[in-house]
């Protein structure tokens, strides 16, 4: 199959048309007419991941994050990590496709799968978006309920267990049980008010700043689980989709730990 045939399958699953305007999704690097050998699935297309693709004879990388996000002024070997990754991919005839906010905006996207990992039931979109296609529900984030209410510490332990967290950050405890929960994978401070308006007991996201935690205002628990930690699960979802729809291809999951944040 050609790169273009596989990207068409991906676009039917998570359409490019539903991505945010600021985003850069779809085929970012490569020739649409190239024949695909093997496929590597990753969260980020770093230089190390491209090396991994080369070592495993993969000439198509399916990435959650786009390697090219901001405008490139130049592409030289002495530039930053983005330019180096682009050069290495092009030199080795590796195509790179990114999904990103298509998965963010889809009702069964990245936040949905995160909500299922922690056991939320009766889920719905947190921030619905207008959509010209009435058959496709769109929106950022998910809200739902736990199977049974949990004490705050028990809820924290549930998150650490289900999401394999080393630690989490949270606003002041309210000494009440957690039942209704909202979730946004990745950076979600923009949805604090929406979560408060929905009267959730806890809002799970990442990249919260110092002043964001005051916005809880003793009305809800704000929980920051880490950016990488909130999104890493999506590699498995993408791989599972590809295995079901491309049974004749070798689909590999990147083994590179590309989390740029380390803990001491």
Q: Confirm whether 172 is domain-assigned.
A: yes
Q: Confirm whether 260 is domain-assigned.
A: no
Same domain flag for 131 and 204: yes
How high does pLDDT run on average in the chain?
94
Q: Confirm whether 144 is domain-assigned.
A: yes
Q: What's the CATH number where 155 sits?
A: 3.40.1390.30
pLDDT tens profile 7-36:
999 999 999 999 999 999 999 999 999 999
Closest CA to 183 of 137, 130, 146, 129: 146
Same domain flag for 80 and 156: no
Strand partners, 106: 138
Same domain flag for 212 and 130: yes
Return the pLDDT at 47.
92
* Number of independent structural domains in the chain: 2
Same domain flag for 119 and 143: yes
pLDDT tens profile 30-79:
999 999 999 999 999 999 999 999 999 999 999 999 999 888 888 887 77
Return the pLDDT at 263.
84
Which sign, positive or negative, has the C-alpha torsion 24, 26, 32, 34? positive
pLDDT of 200 over the 70 cut? yes
Same domain flag for 62 and 171: no
Return the pLDDT at 252.
96
Alpha-carbon distance values, 36 to 58, 81, 111 (Å):
8, 25, 30
Share of the chain above pLDDT 90, in %: 86
Same domain flag for 67 and 140: no
Same domain flag for 53 and 112: no
pLDDT tens profile 212-222:
999 999 999 99
pLDDT tens profile 118-171:
999 999 999 998 876 656 789 999 999 999 999 999 999 999 999 999 999 999
Same domain flag for 75 and 157: no
Backbone dihedral region for residue 74 (phi beyond 0: left; psi -120 to 50: alpha; all else: beta): beta
Q: Mean pLDDT lowest for which of 155-164, 238-247, 255-264?
A: 255-264
Return the pLDDT at 59.
97
Alpha-carbon distance values, 229 to 27, 32, 246, 250 (Å):
25, 32, 28, 26
Which domain covers residue 32, as residue numbers?
3-103+232-253
Return the pLDDT at 125.
95
Question: What pTM value is reported for the model?
Answer: 0.92
Return the pLDDT at 134.
59
Return the pLDDT at 130.
80
Same domain flag for 95 and 183: no
pLDDT of 175 over the 70 cut? yes
Return the pLDDT at 262.
87
Same domain flag for 185 and 206: yes
Return the pLDDT at 132.
60
């Amino acid at each position: 199959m050609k790169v273009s045939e596989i990207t068409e399958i991906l676009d039917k699953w998570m359409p490019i048309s539903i991505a945010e305007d600021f985003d850069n999704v779809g085929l970012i690097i490569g020739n649409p007419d190239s024949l695909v050998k093997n496929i590597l699935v990753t969260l980020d297309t770093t230089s190390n991941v491209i090396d991994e693709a080369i070592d495993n004879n993969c000439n198509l990388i399916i990435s959650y994050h786009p390697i090219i996000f901001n405008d490139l002024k130049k592409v030289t070997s002495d530039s930053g990590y983005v330019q180096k990754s682009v050069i290495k991919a092009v030199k080795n005839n590796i195509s790179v496709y990114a999904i990103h906010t298509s998965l963010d905006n889809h009702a069964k996207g990245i936040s949905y799968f995160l909500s299922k990992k922690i056991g939320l039931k009766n889920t719905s979109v947190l921030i619905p978006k207008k959509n010209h296609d009435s058959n496709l529900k769109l929106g950022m984030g998910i809200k739902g309920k736990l199977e049974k209410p949990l004490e705050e510490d028990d809820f924290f332990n549930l998150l650490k267990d289900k999401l394999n967290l080393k630690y989490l950050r949270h606003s002041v405890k309210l000494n009440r049980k957690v039942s209704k929960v909202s979730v946004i994978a990745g950076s979600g401070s923009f949805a604090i008010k929406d979560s408060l308006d929905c009267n959730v007991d806890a809002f799970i996201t990442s990249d919260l700043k110092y002043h964001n935690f005051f916005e809880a205002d003793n009305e809800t628990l704000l929980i920051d689980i880490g950016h990488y930690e909130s999104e890493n699960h999506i590699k498995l979802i993408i791989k599972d989709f590809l295995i079901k729809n491309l049974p004749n291809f070798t689909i590999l999951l990147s083994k590179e730990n590309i989390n740029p944040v380390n803990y001491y």
